[in-house]
Structure 1
Amino acid sequence: MARSPAFRVPPALPYGTQVQIFSRFREANPAPVTELEFVNAFTLLVAVALSAQATDVGVNKATKNLFRMVSTPQQMLDLGIEALTEEIKTIGLFRQKAKNVIALSKRLVDEYGGEVPQSRAALMSLPGVGRKTANVVLNSVFNFPAQAVDTHIFRVGNRTRLAPGRDVDQVERAIEDNVPVEFQQNAHHWLILHGRYVCQARRPRCKICPIEDLCPYEEKTE
C-alpha cells in the first residue's frame, strides 16, 4: 500500500466538501461498526491479528467456535497452540498467527494482568500486533478516534481526496488533519465499508455511489 515516489500527493478536499461527504455517510449508516465478530477487547485483538491477509468473513468463520471456548488471555493459554492452530487452520498464515496469539496472550497475562492495554505503544509491543491492529482496538473498544488504514481506506482516501497520501501513514495523518472532528470516531469505518462495497478496486460502483457528485475521481465507471 504505497505509491511510487514520483506520485504527487494532491491536496485534500476542502472542509465544506468533507462535511458534505461524511454527513451523507452518517445519514446512510449512523453507527458503523467493524464487521469482525468479537465479545470483548481481547477477542477483537485476536480477530484483528488473524485478519492480516484474510477476509473478515473468513476470520469470523474461524473464530465462531473459538470464541465460544476462549474470551480471555489465560483461557487462550489453557487452550494451547495445537488446539488453536486446529481452530484457525482455514485462515492464511495460520501457523504463525497461532504462535503470535499464544505469545501475545502470555504477554498480556504476565505484564498486563490479563487485560488489554489502552495504549497504542503497549498494544504494538505485543507479538503480531501492528499499528492498524492497535488502532482498530483503540477505536472499536476504547472509543478513541484512531484511524486503522487498510487497503480499502488507502484506495478511497486517494481516489476521493478525502485523505490522500503516498502510504498508509500519510493517509492516516490526512484523515486526522482533514476530516472534521465530529466524524473522526467513525471515519475509518465509513471509508472501509465504502471501499469494500462501493468504491471497489477494479470496478468502482460509481453509479450507486452516494458521493459521486462530490468525488473528483476521474476514472469513473458506469
Structure 2
Amino acid sequence: MPDAETPTPTALITGASRGLGAAIARELAPTHHLLLGARTAEALSGIAAELPGNTPWPVQLTDYEALARACAPIERLDVLVHNAGVADLGTIAESSVQQWRNTLEANIIAVSELTRLLLPALRAAGGHVVLINSGAGLRVNPGWGVYAASKFALRAFGDALRLEEPELRVTSIHPGRTDTDMQRDIVAGEGREYRPGEFLTASTVARTVRTAIETPRDAHPTEIVLRPIARDTE
C-alpha cells in the first residue's frame, strides 16, 4: 500500500469494463486510484460499482477530438495500461482494406495518440507505460496476419517510446491466449469447443502487470512473455 504521506498513484486502464482490463483494474485497485477507460459510461457501470472510489473514464479512443478533451485535465499519471484492442482474424486473401484500417486504428494509432496526449502527465510522474501485446506480436500464425501486423507495430512503438523517453518505463507484455470473452469469440470462429483450461487466466496476466509496475526502479522490465501451461480440461 502507498505510504500515508505519499499521494496515491494514479493508473489509467483502457478497456477496463470487462475481461483482462477488469482483471487488471482489480489487481491495481488496492494501490492505485484508477481511471477506468471504456467506450461508454454504461459499459463501465459494473466495474465502477465493484471498485467504488475510482473514476470512470468513458471515451471512444478513436474519436481523437473527444480523446484530447478527456486527457486535458490529467496533469500527472503514474501508470498507463494500454489494454483495449480488437482481434479481427482471417487470412490475408480474405482480408479487406476496412479490416486493416479498423485493426491498425484500434491497436496502434489510438495507442500512439493516447500516449502522445498523456506524455506531459507521464513525464511529471516518471511514469510507466504498459502495453498489453500478444504472442502474435512475436510470431505469426496462419489467419492471424492482420492482427499480428498490428501487434508487431505495437511492439515497435514500445521500443521507440522506451528509447525516446528514457525517464519513463515501458513494458510490453506478450501473453499467450487468455480466457476472456474475446477468446471465446475467437475459438467459436475457429469452430472448436471452448476449453478454459487451455488458456491463461486473466488474473494471472493481471498479476504480471502489477509485478512489472512494482519492479524496483533500478530495473526496467522491458518485455515479458507468458505462455499457458496445459491443465486438465475435463
- TM-score normalised by the chain length of structure 1: 0.26
Higher relative contact order (CA 8 A, sep 6+): 1
Q: Which has the higher helix share?
A: 1
Q: Which has the higher strand share?
A: 2
Larger radius of gyration: 1
- TM-score normalised by the chain length of structure 2: 0.26
